[in-house]
Chain A
């Protein structure tokens, strides 16, 4: 019997390895007497993230493919990985707030954040459906636990359980889709599936078409596309605030990376019916998300609905399916990471053990009482709404121009209309920050933790930088359009 061992090239999974080692060290630290030494835990978490960053950036120059074509750390994966690692790094720093420190077991928590990041990175670089599944599960299982970290609060447990049950359900759909596709094509490699579609067409066998549909449902749950969005508001509201930001930005970036790769490598961009389906989903997602966000008073819940709407904008670029798609999706995901994690970060920085200002009325006058936090929140809101000169504007511009270039004028118009609706509820937060008197007794806001300040500052600078000089970032990302 002869045995062929597939080429092992650890460089392709270097970032994941670094994070796994970091997470394992954190888990061991949580057992001993160092479990309370914040500095050490922070150093391990940030250290492994820094190594992962370095390895990802190194892969930009030398893209690698390994493990019998299951993993490809190409420029496309690098682009998404940068967004994912940024989300993780910001989350690690933003979790040092007063309220979070009061209930988080920091060592275990950081370990889980890193494990979730490993899953996300695998999603970005997976080129086989099995690897996509492994990444999806690693990320999901860690996030289920992270959502329930406020163990004494019923809403957090509700979030964890709801996310777990619906997520497991969605995983079933996804896996069944993978099985059907394997049954129809006899392969799990995206590229070989692409060859199959090239010769047989997407409706060559009903088995395959049905499999793709199930796959789409599985992804729909993860990226919260209407009509699979029902879990999002409850989960984002109940989860610890920094975790909500991480969930929204990181898992969205990862799942979109895998979705784009599957659409373009496996299913093929020229399939008309596939695009028509995504067209409908994109419009539904943008409008349902934005309209429902308008009536929310709870800011966390509002951001949850807004994250649904943002998934819709990103889908617009995927519908376009042209040379602008990849770069505009990566640009959007990067921008969304900074503005969304930042917005949740400000909310958690304003929370103390006595009071968690989550209602928009409670934010009245914060712009004067906490000028820096207020300014940061205002910038995040402007960016989410897509007001120039923030990156949020450029992100929407690229996404919609991809649609226009592909001839989807109506899709772009509907997208802009949806974005106009969103301006109302984002600016409403700004109005409360600066134009309303604080009601009743003056609240003592907690002191800003330096690490949190640094993280928010970086997020603000990134948003303004990418908004003012979008060309240079976009020029880089254009080169990321080529998939290995």
Chain B
């Protein structure tokens, strides 16, 4: 009996449960089709664009910037957890890291990557 056997059992059980419930609704549920039900579901809002449309290249820039600061957090949280043990050395290291990131942000800002127009 491996440590992970219960996890595997749970996976199997969840898969079974999902299929079971979907199957039940497929068999027993009433089916009344209408135009409204055929629309893509956007939390109750009426969609005003089709999902297949092209969207602005600016989203890519925003996504890139997001990744940078997202990854920064990956470093910041463990650093904060052991901040006292690392002492001044760790503080200086993190400062260098953040300053370099800040330079990147300033660069993106001044180059107009944050402008939406």
Contacts and interface: CB of A to CB of B under 8 A. Distances in A.
Interface of A: 1-3, 5, 24, 27-28, 30-31
B86 A5 contact: yes
Given A31-B110, A31-B111, A24 B86 contact: no
Contacts of A31: 106-107, 110-111
Interface residues of B, number: 11
Interface in B76-117: 82, 85-86, 89-90, 100, 103, 106-107, 110-111
A267 B110 CA distance: 47
16 contacts: A1-B82, A1-B85, A2-B85, A3-B82, A3-B85, A3-B86, A5-B89, A5-B90, A24-B100, A27-B103, A28-B103, A28-B106, A28-B107, A30-B107, A31-B106, A31-B111
Contacts of B89: 5
Contacts of A28: 103, 106-107
A2 B82 CA distance: 10
Given A3-B85, A24-B103, 11 more contacts: A1-B85, A3-B82, A3-B86, A5-B86, A5-B89, A5-B90, A27-B103, A28-B106, A28-B107, A31-B107, A31-B111
A31 B90 CA distance: 31
A30 B108 CA distance: 11
A112 to B, nearest CB: 12
A124 B90 CA distance: 27
Judged by DSSP, the binding face of B is helix
A5 B85 CA distance: 10
A24 B105 CA distance: 12
Contacts of A27: 103, 107
A27 B100 CA distance: 11
B108 to A, nearest CB: 10
Nearest to A2: B85
B107 to A, nearest CB: 5
Contacts of B111: 31
What are the 10 A-B residue pairs with the smallest beta carbon separation, nearest first?
A31-B110, A3-B85, A27-B107, A24-B103, A3-B82, A31-B107, A28-B103, A27-B103, A24-B100, A5-B89
Interface string B25-68: 00000000000000000000000000000000000000000000
B100 to A, nearest CB: 7
Nearest to A32: B110
A30 B112 CA distance: 13
Nearest to B104: A27
B46 to A, nearest CB: 37
A24 B100 CA distance: 8
Contacts of A2: 85
Nearest to A111: B107
A3 B90 CA distance: 12
Contacts of A24: 100, 103
B71 to A, nearest CB: 13
Contacts of A1: 82, 85
B75 to A, nearest CB: 14
Contacts of B100: 24
B2 to A, nearest CB: 18
A24 B107 CA distance: 10
A145 to B, nearest CB: 12
A398 B14 CA distance: 64
B25 to A, nearest CB: 39
B64 to A, nearest CB: 11
Contacts of A3: 82, 85-86
A31 B105 CA distance: 12
A1 B78 CA distance: 14
Nearest to A20: B100
Contacts of B106: 28, 31
A299 to B, nearest CB: 34
Nearest to A3: B85
A30 B109 CA distance: 12
B111 to A, nearest CB: 7
B12 to A, nearest CB: 25
A28 B107 CA distance: 7
A2 B84 CA distance: 11
A28 B102 CA distance: 11
A47 to B, nearest CB: 19
A28 B111 CA distance: 11
